[in-house]
Each structure stands twice: as C-alpha cells, then as structure tokens.
A and B are shown apart, each in its own frame.
Chain A
Amino acid sequence: MNLSLRNPSTATITAFKVIVFVLCLLPAANLVLGWQADALGANPIETITRASGEWTLRLLLITLAVTPLRRLSGLHWLLRLRRMLGLFVFAYAFAHLAIYLWLDQFFDWNAIALDILDRPFITVGFTAFVLLIPLAATSNSFAIRRLGGRRWQALHRSVYAIAIFAVVHFWWLVKADISRPLLYATILAVLLGLRGWWRELERRRQLSVPPPAKHLEKKMIRLVPRQ
C-alpha cells in the first residue's frame, strides 16, 4: 500500500473510502442506538428530526468543500470521495424527510400539504430535497456517460442552489437563536465565494493573454490552455 498522501495507490484510496463510509454512518448509528436506549431526551422525535437535518447540512458542506480542498492542497484524489459523500447527503436528507412524514406527521397528507404550502421553511426544505433526487439518480458512471460530462456537470451545479435552500431552511426554522444557521451560512459563503473568486481569476487570466499579431488576428484560433 502506497502511503504517500499526494499520490496514493488505489488500495489506499479504497481504505480512505471505507473510513469515510464508516464515519458517515456514525451519526445515524448514534441516533438509532440512542432511540433504542431511550436516551434522546424528552422529545426524541424532535431530537432525531433536528439531528438528521443538521447532519444532512454538514455532509452537504463537506461535499462542497472537496473541490476547494483539492485545489488548495493539491490532493486531487479527494475528488474520488465526493460521489460517496454526495450520496450520503441524499441518504440523510431522505431519512430527515422520512422521519418528518412518518414519525412526526404519521402520513397525515392534509397536514403535510398544508405545511409545505404554508410554512416557508418547509417549502424551501422540501424544494431542496426534490432537487436532490436527480443528482442522486445520476451519481453513477453510467449516467455521466449517458448525459455527457458537460450536461452532467450543468445538472450537478444545482447543488449550489440546494445548499443555499438548505441553509435557508434551517435559518427560517429557528425561533430566535440564529447562531448555528449563521455558522453554516458563513461556511457556505466561503465555499461558494472561493469558487466565484477562482472563476474570476480564470477569466482575468484568459483576458490577460496578449492578442495575436495584427496580421494574424483573423485567421488564428485562440487556444488558451486551462491550467
């Protein structure tokens, strides 16, 4: 097993995947065990609803941190963890929604419909979940091949909107103490801000390449290599 972090072997990357997989399962395991041991406080349904929601948001931010981390650290293999992280986001979001539909509302569809229409934080949270479905459904190599890289990437850019909706969902839910939603909003702003900033740098770099000699201007195709 090659233990070099910069250029790990496939076996090392697999080992990392296993570790991340187990880590991602821990919050869920903690809630299941807590539920069985009756250790989730006076209002366990509220506890698991909150916890599953907050872990969805945390995992989403971790997923969005992969690209900046990779760029800043040069550890390009980090990208290979991203699909699994993204699918865990969906799994936690699904659990969060299922807890709400089943344990909180007991499939009282009238009440659920009213909630989605009447309560802005539920409207925006539900929207975020619906937008996650196509991303989860296309998180496989087959879908990338079928859609083609460019279209697949365009589709998956909707994760930025989803992340914003998710933070807004949390922000609108809290009654008064916005410290936690504010923390997540700040992290998201940094993650999206870095992307915006890098995009801007790239635009400037493209513009800064000197124009070709006058007599060649018409005939030449400009190819500016990407990094």
Chain B
Amino acid sequence: MLIKKPADILPSEITPQRLFERRREFISRSGTGLLAGAALWHGLPSSARATTKLQTAPSALSTTEPLSDRDAVTGYNNFYEFGTDKADPARNAHKMALRPWTVSVEGMVGKPRRFDIDELLRVAPLEERIYRLRCVEAWSMVVPWVGFPLAALLKQVEPLGSAKYVEFVTHYDPRIMIRDVIDWPYTEGLRLDEALHPLTLLAVGVYGETLPGQNGAPLRLVVPWKYGFKSAKSIVTIRLTDKEPATAWNKFAPSEYGFYSNVNPEVRHPRWSQATERRIGELRKRPTQMFNGYAEQVASLYQGMDLKKFY
C-alpha cells in the first residue's frame, strides 16, 4: 500500500502568530455575515468598523495593579439594553450606530450646548486612567480607560450656582434594544461635587482604542469609587439640576440600589455580600475596600454623612 506523505505547509501559508491569536476576534467580527463584511469593505456602517487607536497620556491617578484580560473587559458586560446575559452585549451592541452621535449638555448651565462626538474627543487631552471597577454583583476588574475628566466638559458649559446634581441619560433605541426588564432609557446621577471630582471620568476608549459598543461607546461615565452601574454607558444627555435625579436601578429596587451606591463593604445587600469580591481571572475572593480603594481621594465628599443611611 502506498502511503503518501502530505506536502509540507508552505511558510507563506502559515498564519502569523499575531493574527492567529486574534482569530476569534476575526470570526466574531465576520460573524455579522457576508453582508456586513461587504459593507465594511465599502466603508459604510461606522458602527461595524473595528475600534480605532487613540493617542493617550499616562495619568498619576492610575493604579499599578495588573490589568484584567481584554477579552473579559470587552466580553463580560452588564448592558441590559442589549441583553441580560454577560455575553449578550458583546454579541448585540454592534447594532448601535455610533455616528452621528451628539451629547446635549443642558439644564442649569450658563451655556447649554450640543456637542458632536468629535468635539468631545477634543474637550481635553485624552489620558489613560487605569481604575479598579467594582460591580455590585461582587466581581471586579482593573480597566485601562481612556478619557478626560467630566469637570473639563462641565466647565465649558458654566454650571449655575443653583445646580446641585448632574443627571445622565443614555441612548435608547427600542428597535435594537430590549423593551422591558427595567425602565428605559437608563438614567444615572451624581451630586455636582462628585461629578467635578478629578477621578470622575468621561471615557471614550479602553485598552488604548475607542470603546466597543458593549463597553458604552462612544462616551460613558466612569466613577471608580461607586458600583459599576453608576457609570452610565452610551450617554446622550447630561443635565444639571437642583433636584436629586431619579436613577434607573434605584427606581427598580430602591432598597437595593441607593442614589449614592458608593462601594462599601459595610453595607449589606440582599443578594450579594459586599464584604468581598472576586477579581475576574482569580479564584479566591478578596476583601472589598471602602470606596473601592479610593477613600483617600473621595472620603471627604461624604464627611458627616451616615453612609449606611445614604447607601
């Protein structure tokens, strides 16, 4: 019997390691089908296009802890508009068109304005801020956000002296997002002094590139000392008010999700113990730190407040 020896693989046929390692990304990106692929080729839908690189400067406010896996950061998300499973947002968020995108900054401000996303990218130099992210579900990550302080944007619209709070309204499109579960659009809020804190970031990117849809593209809030749900994604309106804004999860279950929702291992929660957390990628839980480890910078904001009452 003749046993044929298979021809050697030509070196030119071997996929470069760099590309090989990104094969899943390639498959998932081609997953939208040939049609999307063809459209992409012709440069049509900007939302389907891959993220683009951003020029960033490092920040002294970054943690030096090891970063969470990029696959975890972009594949394990809570973005209920795109589905309640952690993997749903990465599957579905590509349906959201990211351009044109404008953000209205309005309410109790001297100069209300509608900003185009390209203007927002130039509000202030982009910095890389590596922050701990603590989800109320008792898991955490370390995420290299790219963005600029919210304070830089608010300064441009000149908040009135009477403004006390900032409300964030996020994008809602019932044609591509789910219709029930909680009240849409998702809204969040901060006290003005929290919003002006130097740690409070408007993120436009992660891992050195523009945000993927599932992470809240094109513009999201990041408040690292609060539970993750406070950091509203895909923002369309920023409104300054003198009343505490209603917030989405607080409306849904007021006893579980307070307006402040500062990371606090002392405050009990009926679903998850907040005393410990699992850092994604690690097996054993670690103790949760007060204000997610940012107590030195932010504790003074809450001086004299009973944080068990204002949870």
B127 to chain A, nearest CB (A): 26
A-B pairs with CB below 8 Å: how many?
52
**Contact of A209 with B by CB under 8 A:** no
With the chains together, A190 CA to B279 CA distance in Å?
41
A4 within 8 A of B: no
Does B4 lie at the interface of the complex (its beta carbon under 8 Å from any beta carbon of A)?
A: no
Q: Is the CB of B271 within 8 A of A42?
A: no
Q: Which residues of B contact A118 (CB under 8 A)?
A: 268, 270, 273
B220 to chain A, nearest CB (A): 19
CA distance A42 to B137 in the complex (A): 14
Looking across the interface, which residue of chain B has its beta carbon closest to that of A44?
A: B283
Chain B count of residues within 8 A CB distance of the other chain: 27
Q: Identify whether the interface residues of B are mostly helix, strand, loop, or mixed.
A: loop
| A36-53 vs B, Cβ < 8 Å mask (1 yes, 0 no) | 000001110110000000
Find out whether the CB atom of A41 lies under 8 angstroms from the CB atom of B284: no
- Residue numbers in B under 8 Å from A173 (CB-CB): 271
Q: Is A170 an interface residue (CB 8 A)?
A: no
Cβ-neighbour of A106 out of B139, B280, B284 (below 8 A):
B284
- The answer to whether A212 has its CB under 8 Å from any CB of chain B is no
- Given known contacts A41-B87, A111-B276, A175 and B271 CB-to-CB distance under 8 angstroms: yes
Q: Tell me if B86 and A42 are in contact (CB < 8 A).
A: yes
Asked if residues A41 and B86 are in contact (CB atoms below 8 Å), the reply is yes
- Are A45 and B278 in touch, CB under 8 angstroms? yes
Is the pair B181, A176 in contact by a Cβ cutoff of 8 Å? Answer: yes
Q: Which residues on A sit within 8 Å (CB–CB) of B278?
A: 43, 45
How long is the Cα–Cα vector from A43 to B279 in the complex, in angstroms?
9
Contact A176 B252 (CB under 8 A): yes
Chain A CB within 8 A of B207 CB:
no
Instruction: Give the distance in Å from the alpha carbon of A13 to the alpha carbon of B273 in the complex.
Output: 48
Query: Which residues of the other chain, B, contact A217 by a CB distance below 8 angstroms?
Result: none
Of A42, A46, A105, A176, which is in contact with the most chain B CB atoms at under 10 Å from its CB?
Answer: A42
CA distance A104 to B281 in the complex (A): 13
Contact partners of A106 in chain B: CB under 8 A: 284-285
86-110 of chain A: CB within 8 A of chain B: 103-106
Alpha-carbon distance between A118 and B42 when the two chains are bound, in angstroms: 57
Q: Is the Cβ of B276 less than 8 Å from the Cβ of A42?
A: no
Q: State whether A42 touches B280 (Cβ < 8 A).
A: yes
- Chain A residues positioned under 8 Å from B280 (CB to CB): 42-43
Q: How far is the CA of A103 from the CA of B87 in the complex (A)?
A: 22
- Which stretch, B32-40, B67-75, B239-247, touches the partner chain A? B67-75
Are B76 and A114 in contact, CB atoms less than 8 angstroms apart?
A: no
Q: Quick check: B76 and A43 within 8 Å, CB to CB?
A: yes
Q: Encode A202-217 as 1/0 by CB contact (under 8 A) with B.
A: 0000000000000000
CA distance A42 to B69 in the complex (A): 9
Check if B275 is an interface residue, CB within 8 A of chain A: yes
Q: Which 3 A-B pairs have the closest CB atoms?
A: A42-B76, A42-B72, A177-B84
- 10 further A-B pairs in the complex, CB-CB below 8 A; given A41-B87, A43-B278, A173-B271: A41-B76, A42-B71, A105-B285, A119-B271, A121-B271, A175-B271, A176-B181, A176-B182, A177-B80, A177-B84
